[in-house]
Chains A and B, each alone.
Chain A
Amino acid sequence: MRSERRAGRRSLPVRQARLATTAVAAAVATATVLGACGGGGGTAEAGGATAPASVPELTDEPLTLSFIWFEWPPAQALEDFANAEYTTERPNVTVEVNTVPNANWHDAMFTQFAARQTDFDIAILDSQHIGEAVTNGNIVELTEFIEGNIETDAFDPYLLAAYGQYPQAETGKRDESASMYGLPLLGDTWTMIYRKDLIGDEPPQTWDEMIAVAEQCQADNPGVSGLAFHQANGSDAAAVTYNTVNGLYGGNLWDAASRQIDGVLNDEAGHRAMDVLVNEMKPLTAAGSGNWFIDEVNAAVAQGKACIAFNWIAASGGLLDPEQSTLGATREEILDTLGFATLPTQETDLVPLGGMGMHVSAYAAAEHQAEALNFMKWFLQEDTQKKWAAAGGVPSRTDALESPEFLEAGPFNQVYADSVSRMRDMWNVPEYARLVDIENTSVNAALNGAMDPREALDTIAVEQQQILDSSGSGGL
Chain B
Amino acid sequence: MVLTNEPPVREVTPTPPPRRRTSRLGDRGLAALFISPAMLLLLAMSVFPLLWALTLSFTNYSATSSAPAEFVGFANYAEILTSPAVRQRALTTLVYVVGAVTLQTVLGFGIAYLISRRERGRGLLTTVFLVPMMLSPVVVGLFWRFMLDAQFGVVNSLLTSVGLQPVEWLTRQETAMISLIVVDTWQWTPFIMLIALAGLTAVPRYLYEAASIDRASEWFRFRNITLPLVWPLLLIAVMFRAIEAFRLFDLVYILTNGGPGVSTETLSFHVYKVAFLGFNTGTASAYGILMVVVVIVLAQIYLRYLNKLKED
Contact = CB atoms under 8 A, between A and B. Distances in A.
B44 to A, nearest CB: 11
Contacts of A110: 64, 276, 279
Interface string B43-56: 00111011011011
A256 interface: no
Given A17-B306, A41-B61, A450 B284 contact: no
Interface stretch (A43-51, A166-174, A201-209, A247-255): A43-51
Contact of A288 (B60, B170, B276): B170
Contact of A474 (B60, B271, B273, B296): B60
Interface string B19-53: 00000000000000000000000000111011011
B50 A26 contact: yes
B170 A445 contact: no
What is the predominant secondary structure among interface residues of chain A facing chain B?
A: helix
A451 B276 CA distance: 26
Given A38-B63, A41-B56, A17 B303 contact: yes
A449 B260 CA distance: 8
Nearest to A473: B60
A40 B232 contact: no
B261 A114 contact: no
B295 A25 contact: yes
Interface size class of A (residues with CB under 8 A): 35 or more
Given A30-B49, A136-B65, A233 B257 contact: yes
Contacts of A53: none
A113 B172 CA distance: 37
Interface in A1-49: 9-11, 13-14, 17-18, 20-22, 24-41, 43-47
A107 B243 CA distance: 27
A351 to B, nearest CB: 26
B189 interface: no
Contact of A475 (B67, B150, B270, B280): B280
A257 interface: no
Interface stretch (B77-85, B213-221, B222-230): B77-85
A11 B278 contact: no
A288 B171 contact: yes
Contacts of B277: 106-107, 433-434, 437
Contacts of B170: 288, 290-291
B236 interface: yes
Contacts of B280: 472-476
B16 to A, nearest CB: 42
Interface stretch (B124-132, B203-211, B285-293): B285-293
A450 B47 CA distance: 41
B94 interface: no
Interface string A403-446: 00000000000000000000000000001011001000110111
- For the residues of B in contact with A, the DSSP-based class is helix
B307 interface: yes
B310 interface: yes
A35 B275 contact: yes
B83 A113 contact: no
B297 to A, nearest CB: 10
A137 interface: yes
A336 B187 CA distance: 47
A263 interface: no
Interface string A351-392: 000000000000000000000000000000000000000000
B186 interface: no
A218 to B, nearest CB: 15
B148 to A, nearest CB: 9
A441 to B, nearest CB: 5
A127 B52 CA distance: 34
B18 interface: no
B259 interface: yes
B113 interface: no
Contact of B46 (A26, A114, A138): A26
B141 interface: no
A155 to B, nearest CB: 30
Nearest to A235: B257
A20 B244 CA distance: 13
Contact of B171 (A37, A107, A290, A476): A290
Nearest to B308: A14
A17 B262 contact: no
B270 A444 contact: no
B239 A36 contact: no
Contacts of B281: 36-38
A33 B289 contact: yes
A287 B159 CA distance: 15
Contacts of A38: 61, 63-64, 275, 279, 281
B110 interface: no
B231 interface: no
Contacts of B300: 18, 21
B59 interface: yes
Contacts of A33: 49-50, 53, 284-285, 288-289, 292
Identify the 6 closest CB pairs spanning chains A and B, nearest first.
A288-B150, A445-B261, A38-B63, A290-B171, A448-B260, A33-B288
Given A9-B307, A36-B53, A289-B171, 18 more contacts: A17-B239, A21-B243, A24-B295, A26-B47, A30-B45, A32-B268, A32-B271, A34-B49, A35-B276, A36-B56, A36-B271, A38-B64, A38-B281, A41-B55, A132-B64, A450-B173, A476-B80, A476-B83
5 contacts: A13-B232, A18-B303, A21-B296, A32-B287, A36-B288
